[in-house]
Amino acid sequence: MPAAIEFRDVTRTFGSVRAVDSVSLEVAAGEFFSMLGPSGSGKTTCLRLIAGFELPDAGHIVLDGVDVSDVPPYDRDVNTVFQDYALFPHMSVLENVEYGLKVRHVGGAERRPRAREMLALVKLGELGERRPGQLSGGQRQRVALARALINRPKVLLLDEPLGALDLKLREAMQIELKALQRELGNTFVYVTHDQGEALSMSDRVAVFDHGRIVQVDTPRALYSRPRNPFVAEFVGGANVLPARLATALLGVDKPVAIRPEQMRILATGAALEPGWVACAGTVADSQYHGATLRIQVRTRDGELLTVARPDVSADVAVSRAGSEVSVAWPRASVVELETDRA
């Protein structure tokens, strides 16, 4: 079975900027695949390349075994949920949803019921006659989803679809999207800059930086075994110790990553458990996050480490700004990274 999406050395430049720089990737059919990265990292351009809004300057894009590198969007079996939803303001919700069938000359007798069915699927059954302007942000999002799914595309592309929603709605939609994907069984490609979103929904995540893919992995692998400092910091905000400090503390001549929640704060001079490593420093700042407290400690040679601890733990007591402490972590929690940043 061919991959749902395959990129072979795809490059897309805008002027002198290589927005997508010789990217190769494969997305399996039925996979929930996320493209994660900061703005300007090339993830959205990749999505637009799959949709056909951009054509590659070099390389090939293969969808389900067919090279579509020069195929316009209307001849590709993919549909997109746009960041701004892009609903047609002059059509009713139902007309928006059935649009994909209408332009393919599906008759009204078949079109209407399918559009209503799709609206019911996204739980907007009773709003078909409204105009998009009369809907809330969350409802518009669902209309955009229904409209994109009506053609039963093999691949659904989602361009930061939850970005404009408030936190509670976003979390609810994440669960719903994931359930929908499981139910429909088609491939979802999800673009986001929110690492939490990518980790919680995806089967696999590709991390983008400067137009290249840095790492493609399952969320768990990405979090526990980031390949380089960029991934370690971008996904889950790890503390990255430069090679120089890692050599001194751990005897490893590579940069290393330690997750904030793996670290603890000890009073200076407290005994270390076996298998733990410690580093002395001064508490610089701390932020209260409800369940956890995030504490920044400045080490003697100027690195800033972030420690995340349950707010009720004993560490909190010694963590007043300015106090001398030592930061400790189990040797086993250290992840060795590759030196190159891209």
Residues of this chain that interact with another protein (CB under 8 A) are 51-53, 72-74, 78-80, 82, 84, 86-90, 99-100, 102-104, 147-148, 150-151
**For residue 166, what are its two tokens?**
């408030």
Sheet of strand 335-336, all strands in order from the earlier edge strand to the far edge: 239-241, 256-258, 335-336
- Residue 339's alpha-carbon distances to 211, 331, 342, in angstroms, are 19, 20, 9
Closer by beta carbon to another protein, 96 or else 286: 96
Closer by beta carbon to another protein, 12 or else 147: 147
CB of 147 to another protein, least distance (A): 7
Burial of 247 (C-beta count, 10 Å sphere; 0-12/13-18/19+): middle
Of 27, 33, 72, 16, nearest to 49 by C-alpha is: 72
CB of 283 to another protein, least distance (A): 43
CB of 29 to another protein, least distance (A): 20
Closer by beta carbon to another protein, 146 or else 256: 146
What DSSP string runs through 278-310? EEEEEEEEEEE-SSEEEEEEEETTS-EEEEEEE
Closer by beta carbon to another protein, 54 or else 315: 54
Closer by beta carbon to another protein, 51 or else 206: 51
Beta bridge partners of 267: 325
CB of 5 to another protein, least distance (A): 15
Q: How far apart, in whole angstroms, are the C-alpha atoms of residue 11 and residue 20?
A: 5
Closer by beta carbon to another protein, 51 or else 231: 51
CB of 59 to another protein, least distance (A): 22
Of 156, 158, 165, 150, nearest to 114 by C-alpha is: 150
Closer by beta carbon to another protein, 45 or else 292: 45
CB of 159 to another protein, least distance (A): 9
**For residue 294, what are its two tokens?**
């995030």
- Residue 143's alpha-carbon distances to 84, 121, 147, 257, in angstroms, are 12, 10, 6, 42
Residue 182 burial (CB count, 10 A): 11
CB of 199 to another protein, least distance (A): 28
CB of 144 to another protein, least distance (A): 8
Coil, helix or strand at residue 274: coil
CB 51 within 8 A of CB 221: no
Closer by beta carbon to another protein, 161 or else 236: 161
